[in-house]
Amino acid sequence: MSPPRRRPAASERRKRPALREALDELVQHVRVVNRTLSSMAPHEVTHAQERLEWLADEVWRLALDEDADQA
């Protein structure tokens, strides 16, 4: 059994709004793709995959750059 998930402190969420927004956008994109994948044309799937990769890269960049929101 995995350990219980620890929720980030509210102050951490306020300190990193760009990361929070990028994460929210990534989750929203995954949900949309999950709902619509079976009806997507091949070019739409390719675009969705590229966007997913871009969003994941952006989240990773923001997660590593603690000063991103203070600039």
> Which helix or strand (DSSP H or E) is residue 66 part of?
none
On whether residue 9 sits in a domain, the answer given is no
Instruction: Classify residue 16: in a domain, yes or no.
Output: no
- Within-domain flag for 2: no
Q: Is the pLDDT of residue 5 over 90?
A: no
Structural domain range at position 59? 38-71
pLDDT by residue (tens digit) across 24-42?
A: 999 999 999 999 999 999 9
pTM beyond cutoff 0.85: no
How many domains does the chain contain in total? 1
For residue 59, give the nearest of 27, 37, 33 by alpha carbon: 27
Q: Can you give the pLDDT at residue 55?
A: 98
Residue 11, domain member (yes or no): no
Above 70 in pLDDT, residue 63? Answer: yes
Asked if 59 and 27 count as a contact pair (C-beta separation under 8 A), the reply is no
